[in-house]
Amino acid sequence: MRLTAKTDYAVRACLELTVRADQGFVKAEELADAQGIPAAFVLGILNQLKRAALVESKRGLDGGYRLAMPADQISVADVLRAVDGPLTSLQGEKVENADYSGSATYLLHVWVALRTAMRSVLEVTTLADVASGNLPPNVQELLASKGAWVTRPSGLDVVLEAWDES
């Protein structure tokens, strides 16, 4: 799964709104500055989050943006879907609509299992969980698993590394 900059910025903006919930409405510029997000992206992202009913806005001097509901009721998956659509898709279509045959017949099962695995983390982890650092037990278990923090190189990386050593 590749996370886009837009997705990362959206979650970070929502986390900033989470920790500033007691301040009421927060200006878009303040969110951008606090999280180091390019200001040009913030308004567009906030508008998408607003259309998804995750944030609300208020105009005027004391206006800005705030979460539309408590942070413990908004999952990370909700934010991702608001700005990027479904968690998994295959060439812009629903994964379950893929039609494979022959040696690839069971590839659909792999894609559906991948979606289920992502949901098991993203749908149970709320903005409040992330902001507090109190992640759900299943997420903590995954983080503690061997190799969780190690990026595995691609096949090309391994070949290039071996070539550099020779």
First to last CA, the chain: 33
E strand intervals along the chain: 55-58, 64-67
Q: Transcribe 136-148 into DSSP letters.
A: -HHHHHHHHSTTT
Domain count for the chain: 1
H runs (alpha helix) in 20-124: 28-35, 39-51, 76-84, 107-122
User: Is residue 161, in this structure, part of any structural domain at all?
Assistant: no
Q: What is the pLDDT of residue 165?
A: 60
User: Is residue 51, in this structure, part of any structural domain at all?
Assistant: yes
Query: 30: how many CB neighbours lie within 10 A of its CB?
Result: 15
User: Is residue 62, in this structure, part of any structural domain at all?
Assistant: yes
User: Is residue 124, in this structure, part of any structural domain at all?
Assistant: yes
CATH number for 124: 1.10.10.10
User: Is residue 111, in this structure, part of any structural domain at all?
Assistant: yes
Residue 126 region, left (φ>0) first, then alpha (ψ -120 to 50), else beta? beta
pTM of the model: 0.86
Euclidean distance between CA atoms 9 and 21, whole angstroms: 18
Distances (CA, A) of 25 to 18, 55, 84: 11, 10, 25
* pLDDT, tens digit only, all 166 positions of the chain: 678 899 999 999 999 999 999 999 999 999 999 999 998 889 999 999 999 999 999 998 889 999 999 999 999 999 999 999 888 877 878 888 888 889 989 999 998 998 899 999 999 999 999 999 999 999 999 999 998 898 887 766 655 565 556 5
User: Is residue 74, in this structure, part of any structural domain at all?
Assistant: yes
Q: Which of 13, 142, 156, 35 is nearest to 80 (CA)?
A: 13
User: Is residue 85, in this structure, part of any structural domain at all?
Assistant: yes
Strand 64-67 to strand 55-58: parallel, antiparallel, or no bridges (unpaired)? antiparallel
User: Is residue 53, in this structure, part of any structural domain at all?
Assistant: yes
Range of the domain at 111: 5-144
Q: What is the pLDDT of residue 152?
A: 81
> Contact at 8 Å (CB) between 52 and 78?
yes
Residue 77 CB partners (closer than 8 Å, separation 6+): 87, 118, 119, 122, 123
Residue 64 CB partners (closer than 8 Å, separation 6+): 24, 25, 26, 27, 28, 30, 57, 58
